[in-house]
Amino acid sequence: MNKQELIEQVAFASDLTKSQAKKAVEAVTAVIQDALADGQAVNITGFGVFETTTRSARIGRNPATGASLDVPASRGVRFRPGKPLKDAVK
């Protein structure tokens, strides 16, 4: 499902127009993105938790040449699904 299909499904399920559903979907994704950028976790009960992780710096290898290179520390995003979501997917 892509973003447009998600918007259509939200509009259908919530009896909103597509433009209202688009605003709602974009607002939710923007709020989650802003919270993660600030280092906060977003917990949606029954769905899951979005959180940031920190990866430490390490030495990597170029697979073509075998030469070592420094991989800098970085932040990433992790999603941990909640139990109801896990059960629904089974």
pLDDT in tens, 34-50: 999 999 999 999 999 99
Domain count within the chain: 2
pLDDT in tens, 58-77: 999 999 999 999 999 999 99
Instruction: Output the domain CATH number for residue 90.
Output: 4.10.520.10
Alpha carbons 69 and 76: distance in angstroms, whole number? 20
Shared domain for 32 and 56, answered yes or no, is no
**Whole domain around residue 54: which residue ranges?**
49-90
pLDDT, averaged across the chain? 96
